[in-house]
Amino acid sequence: MDNETLTITDNRTNQNYTIPISHGTIRAMDLRQIKTGPDDFGLMTYDPAFMNTASCQSAITFLDGDKGILRYRGYPIEQLAEHCTFLEVAYLLLNGELPTADELAYWNCDVMRHTMIHENVKKFMDGFHHDAHPMGTLLSTVAALSTFYPDARNISDPKIRRKQIVRLIGKMPTLAAYAYRHRLGLPYIYPDPELSYTKNYMHMLWKRTEPKYEANPVLAHALEVLFILHADHEQNCSTSAMRAVGSSNADPYATTAAAISALWGPLHGGANEEVLRMLGEIGSKDHIPAFIDQVKEGKRKLMGFGHRVYKNYDPRARIIKQVAEEVFEVTGRNPKIDIALELERIALSDDYFIKRKLYPNVDFYSGIIYQAMGFTPDQFTVLFGIPRTVGWLAQWDEMLSDPDKKIARPRQVYTGEEQRDFVPITLRGQRELVEA
Ligand code: CMC
């Protein structure tokens, strides 16, 4: 379209500028020409937290937060959750197309072949204190993998990149299970590549002295669905960390460790753990109104509610609610679900939440399922990180193949002192000491 342009009048100079619009965006660099004079640096945009700035182009995940739509490579999340295995979705995210039967069989074998970890990694994990948070253990161990696979540094070779991707997807459940067993003082269980991705994870978590651990098929299926729902979510905080760190050409293990660190925060993936603590603290339905009052007074946050992008019901939360009922058929009902449902009902009819378009997000119900399945709250974010590794790696690979790729390096608006002259220490006078 010829009129796909934006005309800007700079009232400081009365100059007009016409800049192209593409995909509903303008290029921030096109603003640089807008200057008051030759010494002016040129106009920049100020957008803390990237509220309205696209940091990349991506063909992986589509999200319409107003309509509550989520699609991977064009496929609605609801259909993928109903019909696919997690590894099938992983293949889709990484390759752009659903696998054929032969491709899927090969892919399953390839990933499961990489579930084993070096014996020295086990020794390394043994060094953690018995009550180390599993996310701390996971992120440090993933970073340490870079010392085992120095070839990974060659990130410009697509074949080498692909090898690390398969390695990481294969090893994440093993590392997560070992972090779990280390906390409990249980011996590590070697992966069984004959099993499915989630059944093998359950086997490494929960096998005791029985000759063969048989994962409950309903719970294994629930875990597959939860993994699919968490596999990617476009440019969220941890994915942006993955892209930012990866843009310096750091190796994928160090880069993924950065993404895991971002995920751990309570405003991001760490929210699922916080939701469980919050529900425990509320304790019973009678205490909900008082809790909601505290939230409205700004004293608390309703964890598991609100989203930067969704201003409608998070489609993943809707699916998770259904999965919860299937899981409870097997495990018995987690009483926290009734507190959560009532909390949701009250919040969604309250002006505070309606005005701000705050709805339950993916983390609101997931922890309740995980707890019913036998996971402790400190495992919940790990359960987010295992599948999200696929999304991080798909986005990392996409970024490295993008001709527009450059090292991430935002600008700032400097608000500090103008130039001033050095003052010798003897002339600096006295200031009240502030304790650190
Ligand atoms: N409880 C109470 N008030 C909230 C909440 C909440 N959970 N979330 C947002 N608000 C209020 C916020 O106080 C603000 O009110 P006001 O306009 O009066 O200042 C308004 O809603 C807009 O919030 P915001 O903080 O500007 O929104 P944001 O896009 O910067 O933050 C968020 C998004 C997810 C960090 C935030 O909603 C939040 O902290 N939620 C709780 C933590 C959580 O559940 N995180 C998981 C996110 S989904 C999974 C993932 O991607 O990790």
Ligand 1, residues 274, 308, 383: which to mutate, most atoms within 8 A of Cβ?
308
Q: Closest Cα partner for 295 from 310, 285, 311, 282?
A: 282
Q: Which residue is catalytic, options 232, 314, 363, 397? A: 363
pLDDT digits (tens, 9 = 90+) for 321-363: 999 999 999 999 999 999 999 999 999 999 999 999 999 999 9
Instruction: Give yes or no on whether 74-269+390-400 and 274-317+332-373 have one common fold.
Output: no
Q: Whose CA is nearest to atom 48 of ligand 1?
A: 361
Does position 392 have pLDDT exceeding 60, yes or no? yes
Q: Whose CA is nearest to atom 15 of ligand 1?
A: 356
Which stretch of 12-16, 82-86, 107-111, 376-380 has the lowest confidence by average pLDDT? 376-380
Q: Closest Cα partner for 386 from 82, 70, 86?
A: 86
Q: Which residue is catalytic, options 307, 314, 378, 397? A: 307
Instruction: Give yes or no: 307 in active site.
Output: yes
Position 436 scores a pLDDT of 72
The CATH number of domain 274-317+332-373, selected from 3.20.20.140, 2.60.450.10, 3.30.360.10, 1.10.230.10: 1.10.230.10
One-letter amino acid of 362: V
Instruction: Provide CB contacts within 8 A for 22, sequence distance 6+.
Output: 4
Q: Is 399 in the pocket of ligand 1 (CB under 6 A)?
A: no
pLDDT digits (tens, 9 = 90+) for 145-202: 999 999 999 999 999 999 999 999 999 999 999 999 999 999 999 999 999 999 999 9
Q: Three-state SS for 155?
A: coil
135 in Cβ contact with 378 (< 8 Å): yes
User: What does the pLDDT average to over 287-315?
Assistant: 95
Question: Which two structure tokens, joined as six digits, stand for 347?
Answer: 């919040």
Question: What is the number of residues in the chain?
Answer: 436
Question: Which two structure tokens, joined as six digits, stand for 168?
Answer: 């990481």
The domain ranges of the chain are 74-269+390-400, 274-317+332-373
Position 2 scores a pLDDT of 67
User: What does the pLDDT average to over 396-403?
Assistant: 97
Q: Closest Cα partner for 118 from 167, 152, 52?
A: 167
* pLDDT > 70 fraction of the chain, expressed in percent and rounded: 100
Position 284 scores a pLDDT of 94
Between helices 158-184 and 380-400, what is the axis angle to 10°?
A: 170
Q: How far is CA 336 from the centre of its chain?
A: 24
Instruction: Give yes or no: 83 in active site.
Output: no
Ligand 1 centroid to Cα of residue 307, in Å, is 6
Ligand 1 centroid to Cα of residue 295, in Å, is 11
Ligand 1, residues 267, 278, 288, 300: which to mutate, most atoms within 8 A of Cβ?
267
Q: Is 279 in the pocket of ligand 1 (CB under 6 A)?
A: no
Confidence of residue 1 (pLDDT cuts 50, 70, 90): low
Q: Is 362 in the pocket of ligand 1 (CB under 6 A)?
A: yes
Q: Is 304 in the pocket of ligand 1 (CB under 6 A)?
A: yes
Position 433 scores a pLDDT of 87
Q: Closest Cα partner for 114 from 143, 133, 140, 87?
A: 87
Confidence of residue 435 (pLDDT cuts 50, 70, 90): confident
Q: Closest Cα partner for 63 from 314, 391, 241?
A: 314
User: What does the pLDDT average to over 415-436?
Assistant: 93
Q: Is 224 in the pocket of ligand 1 (CB under 6 A)?
A: no
pLDDT digits (tens, 9 = 90+) for 226-267: 999 999 999 999 999 999 999 999 999 999 999 999 999 999
CATH H-level superfamily of 74-269+390-400: Citrate Synthase, domain 1 (1.10.580.10)
Ligand 1 centroid to Cα of residue 356, in Å, is 9
268-298 exposure pattern, b = at least 16 Cβ within 10 A, e = fewer? bbbbbbbbbebbeebeeeeebeebbeebeee
Does position 6 have pLDDT exceeding 70, yes or no? yes
The whole-angstrom separation of Cα 198 and Cα 219 is 9
CA atoms within 13 A on the CB side of 387: 25
User: What is each CA distance from 150 to 144, 202, 261, in whole angstroms?
Assistant: 11, 30, 22
Angle, vertex CA 70, rays to CA 347 and CA 134, nearest 5:
75
Position 298 scores a pLDDT of 96
Confidence of residue 3 (pLDDT cuts 50, 70, 90): confident
Position 390 scores a pLDDT of 98
